[in-house]
Structure 1
Amino acid sequence: MKIEMLSTGDEVLQGDIADTNAAWCGQALSDMGLSFSRRQTVADNLDDIVDAMAQAAKRSDWVLVNGGLGPTSDDLSAEAAARLLGTELELNQDWLAKLQAWYQAQDTPMPSSNLKQAMLPKGATLVDNPIGTACGFIIEYAGAQLIFTPGVPSEFKQMLQQQWFPLLAKQQPQAQGEVKRFYTFGLSESSLSDRLDGFALPEGARLGYRSARPSIEVKVFYPRPEAQFTALIDSLREHLAEHVFSEDQSDWALHLQQLMIAQNKKLVLAESCTGGMLASELVAVAGSSAYVERGFVTYSNQAKQQSIGVPESLLAEYGAVSIQTSQAMAEGALRHSEADIALSITGIAGPGGGSEEKPVGTVCFSLADGKQCFSQQLQMFNRSRSVVRIMSTAVAMDMLRRYLTGLPVMGDYQHLKRVVSKM
C-alpha cells in the first residue's frame, strides 16, 4: 500500500511551525507495519495545493492531507479538494448541527466564519472530529483515497487513531505485526548498532533505532507472538541489560512514578544547575503528588545554606560544585522534608563559570536514603548549556531508577566521564 502525506501551510513550509504531525504519523504507521512512500509540504496557494494532490493521488493508494481546514481565508483544503474533483462545496448539515450544538454548550454565539468548516466537497465522506470544530473528510480521485485532517495535533492524532488507522488495518491486515520497545540510556546509537547488528533475527523480524535525547529507543518488529520471537526479545533484553531504562514505556517520569508508588516511597529534590528541570519532568505526569514530596531549587550558595542547611564551611572548602556539596544537599533535603529518598544535582552548565579544575559540564549528583548516600561527579564534554541541564536531569532519573530496581546506582555512560564517585 502506497501512502503519501501532504502538509499544507505557509507557516509549516517556512519553518515557523515544526511539522510534528508528520513525524508522529510516520512513527505510528511504522508501528502498524506501514510507511509513507513520500511526504511533501505545500504553501497556502490554491493552484499549488490542487496540483500536489493530483500528482500524489496518481502515485498512491492513500493521500493524507493535513491542515487548511480552519475558518480563515488561507484555509484552502476543502476548496482545493472540490476543484480537484470538478465539483462544488456544499453545506454538510450534520456537521453544521454539531458545530451549533458545540457553541451552544459553550454558551457562545457561533462566529459566522465557522460556517466555512461545514462546507465540504459534494459527495465527500464526513470524518468526525470529537474535540474540535474542523471535521475531516474523504474523497476519491484517480483511484486513490484522500483523507483531509485538521492541523491541530491533538485533533489530528485522535482522528487518525480512531478512524483512519482502523481503515488501513482493514484494507491491509497482513501489514499488522507486533513491536517491542526498549528505551535505553548510557549507550550511543553506534554502540547499540555494534552490539545488535550481528544479532540473528528470525525470518520476518527486524530491528529499528530512534534517538530522542536522552533516550535511544531500540525496537524489534515481528509478525506474530510465537516462541521464536519471545526468545528473541528475551535475548535482546539480556544484551541491553542495565542500560534499559524501561520497556514499552517511553515516559521516564511515569515509569519512575510507578516504581516509587509500588514501593511506597516519597522523594525530595535539591537542584542547582538544573533549576527545577528535574522536578518539572517528574510532576508533568498526573498523580506525581503521590510520591514527589517537595523540591528545593537552591541556585545560590546562600540558598543552599538557608533552605537545606549546607554548611558554609563546606562550601568554602570544596565549592558549590563538588561531591561534598551534592551529598550535603541531598542529606539536607531529607532533613527538611518527610521524604524517604533525596536526589541532588549541582554543576556548571555554562557557557561561563568553568575553570581548569572544574570545566563547564562538570556536574555532581547524590542520592540519599537516610542510611547511605551515593554520589558521583561527571564531566560532560563539549555540551551546550541546554544539553548539560537535560543530560543532568536524565542522569539523576537514571540513578533513581537504578536504586529502585536494585542495580548499581552509578551506571556506565558513554560520552560522560566519571571523575569521582563515593558511597
Structure 2
Amino acid sequence: MKIEMICTGEEVLSGQIVDTNAAWVANALMDHGIEMQQRVTVGDRLDDLVQVFQERSQHADIILVNGGLGPTSDDLSSLAMAKAKGESLVECAKWRARLEEWFTRNGRQMPPSNLKQALLPESAIMVDNPVGTACGFRVKLNRAWLFFTPGVPFEFKRMVEEQFIPFVKQQSDTRVEVEVYKLLTIGSGESVLANQLEELSLPEGLTLGYRSFMPYIEIKLFARGAESIAQLPEVVTVIKQQLGVCVVADNSDSLAKVVHQQLLEQECSLSVAESCTGGMIASNLVAFAGSSGYLHQGLVTYSNESKIKVLGVKSTTLDEHGAVSIATVTEMAQGVRGLLNSDYALATSGIAGPDGGTEQKPVGTVAIALATESGTYSQMLKFPGRSRELVRALSTAVAFDMLRRALLQQAVIVDYGYYHRVE
C-alpha cells in the first residue's frame, strides 16, 4: 500500500514556518510500521492544489492532506478537492450544528466566515475533529483515498492518532503484523553506529533504521511478521551488547523523559544549578506533568558572583581553577544540593561559544557534576566544532545520563565515544 502526504500553505512552502506536522506524522506512522513513500508541499493556489490532487491520486493508495481547512479566503483545500472531482461543495449539516454548538458553548457569536468550514465536496465522508472548528473529511479520487486534516498541530495530531492511523490499518486486508523497537543513543554518529552494526546477521523480516535528532541518534528495529517479532528481544540484547554505554534508553525519545520517570518511581528529589546550559536541564524536566514531585529547584547561576553568593562556591576555587572546571562544578552541585537537602543535584559550567574560548579551554569545553548523598561525580568534556545550541544540548544529555546511571546504580562516568573527556 502506497501512502503519501500533501502539505498545503504558502507559509510552509516559502519557509516562513517549519512544517513540524510532516516530520511528526512520518515518525508516528513509522512507529506503527507504516512507511510513507512521498511528500509534496504546495502553496495556497487553487489551480496548483487541483493539479496535485489529481496527479498524486493516480499513484498513491492513501494521501494525507494537511492544512487549508480554515475559514479564510486562502483556505482552499475543500474547494480544490471538489473541483478535482468535478463536484459541488455542499453543506454538512452535522458539522454546521457542531460549529453552532461550539460557539454557543464558548459564549461567542459565530462569524459568517466559519460556515465555510461546513462546506465539503459532495461525495466526501466527514472526519470528526474533536478539538477544533475545522471539519476533516475523506474522499476517493482515482485509485486514492485523500484524507483531509487541519494544519493546527494539536488538532492534526489528535486526528492522526485517533482516525487516520486506524483508517490506514483498515484499508489493508493483508497487512503483516509489525513491531517497532527503538534504542536511543548518545556519543556516536550515524556512520559509526552503522559500522558497528553492519556485520550483524539479522533474522529475515527484521531491518534497522536510523534517525538523527541531536543530541540523539535513534536506532529503530522493524520486525515484520510473527516469527521476526518473536526474535526481536534477542536481537535487541545483541545490539545493546555491541553498542555498549552509548545506548541510553529503550522506546523513549529523550533522556529527560527517562530520568523524569525514574525520579518519580524512586521518590527521589533533585536540584539543579546551571551556567552554560542556561536552564535547559530544568526546562526539559518541567515539560512533563508531575515534575513538581521531585524537582526542588533549578537555578541559573551564570555569573561568578551568583555562584559564590547563592551556591557557596569558594572565591579561591574560581580564582585558582576558573568557572569552567571540575572543582567549580563540584562545589556548585554540592551547594545546590545542600540548599534543600535534595537526594541528587546536577551542575554545569562551560563555554558554549561562539566566543570565550582559550587555548587551554576552547569553545565546547563543559564541566558537569552530579552530587549524591554518597559523593560527587564530576567530569570535563570537550564538544569541538559544535554550535552554541548543540553544546548546550549535548551537555544536558550527558548530565541526564549521569543521573540516569546513578539511579540505576551503574558507573556514573563512562566513555561515550566521540565526546572527549578531559583528564
Shorter-chain TM-score bucket reads: over 0.9
Residue number among 279, 283, 288 corresponding to 1:285 in the alignment = 288
Instruction: Give the TM-score normalised by structure 2.
Output: 0.96
Mapping 1:115-194, distance limit 5 Å = 115-172=115-172, 173-194=174-195
CA deviation map 1:70-128 (0-9, x unaligned) = 00000000010111111111111100111111111111111111100001111210000
- Equivalent in the alignment of 1:248: 251
Deviation at 1:233, TM superposition (A): 2.3
CA deviation map 1:387-411 (0-9, x unaligned) = 1111111111111111111222112
Q: Matched residue pairs, number?
A: 420
- Equivalent in the alignment of 1:200: 201
Is 1:215 matched with 2:222?
Answer: no
- Equivalent in the alignment of 2:345: 342
- Equivalent in the alignment of 2:411: 408
Deviation at 1:280, TM superposition (A): 0.6
**Contact preservation (8 Å) 2:176, 2:225:** no
Tell me the SS of whatever aligns to 1:59: coil
**Contact preservation (8 Å) 2:95, 2:135:** yes
The runs of at least 4 consecutive aligned structure 1 residues that moved more than 4 Å come to none
- Equivalent in the alignment of 1:392: 395
Deviation at 1:29, TM superposition (A): 2.5
Distance 1:369 1:38 in 2: 50
Distance 1:31 1:333 in 2: 40
**Contact preservation (8 Å) 2:62, 2:168:** no
Aligned amino acid, residue 309 of structure 1: G
Distance 1:375 1:411 in 2: 11
Distance 2:52 2:226 in 1: 40
User: Structure 2: which 5+ runs fail to align?
Assistant: none
Tell me the SS of whatever aligns to 2:120: strand
Deviation at 1:37, TM superposition (A): 2.5
Tell me the SS of whatever aligns to 1:381: coil
Distance 2:233 2:257 in 1: 26
- Equivalent in the alignment of 2:264: 261
Deviation at 1:225, TM superposition (A): 5.1
- Equivalent in the alignment of 1:112: 112
Distance 1:149 1:27 in 2: 17
Distance 1:161 1:284 in 2: 21
Aligned amino acid, residue 266 of structure 2: Q
Is 1:39 matched with 2:39?
Answer: yes
> Comparing 391-400 with 224-233, which one deviates more in the overlay?
224-233
- Equivalent in the alignment of 1:235: 238
User: Structure 1: which 5+ runs fail to align?
Assistant: none
> Comparing 258-267 with 372-381, which one deviates more in the overlay?
258-267
Mapping 1:272-311, distance limit 5 Å = 272-311=275-314
Deviation at 1:163, TM superposition (A): 1.3
Distance 2:337 2:62 in 1: 58
CA deviation map 1:227-252 (0-9, x unaligned) = 43332222223223332211112132
Deviation at 1:159, TM superposition (A): 1.0
Residue number among 349, 353, 356 corresponding to 2:359 in the alignment = 356
**Contact preservation (8 Å) 2:177, 2:226:** no
Aligned amino acid, residue 68 of structure 1: G
Distance 1:131 1:59 in 2: 32
- Equivalent in the alignment of 1:62: 62
Instruction: Give the TM-score normalised by structure 1.
Output: 0.96
Aligned amino acid, residue 196 of structure 1: L
Tell me the SS of whatever aligns to 1:282: helix
Aligned amino acid, residue 198 of structure 2: D
Aligned amino acid, residue 193 of structure 1: A
1:190/1:324 CA distance change after superposition, 3 Å: same
Please provide the CA RMSD for this pair: 1.4
**Contact preservation (8 Å) 2:271, 2:342:** yes
Aligned amino acid, residue 186 of structure 1: G
- Equivalent in the alignment of 1:92: 92
Deviation at 1:16, TM superposition (A): 0.9
Aligned amino acid, residue 270 of structure 1: A
Identity across aligned pairs (percent)? Answer: 48
Distance 2:36 2:76 in 1: 23
Distance 1:305 1:200 in 2: 56
Distance 2:185 2:234 in 1: 20
1:390/1:230 CA distance change after superposition, 3 Å: closer
Deviation at 1:41, TM superposition (A): 0.9
Distance 1:318 1:38 in 2: 55
Tell me the SS of whatever aligns to 1:339: coil
> Comparing 17-26 with 191-200, which one deviates more in the overlay?
17-26
**Contact preservation (8 Å) 1:296, 1:307:** no
1:37/1:257 CA distance change after superposition, 3 Å: closer
1:118/1:249 CA distance change after superposition, 3 Å: same
- Equivalent in the alignment of 1:15: 15
CA deviation map 1:298-353 (0-9, x unaligned) = 10110011101111111111111111111111111122123011111011111221
- Equivalent in the alignment of 1:332: 335
Distance 1:196 1:58 in 2: 39
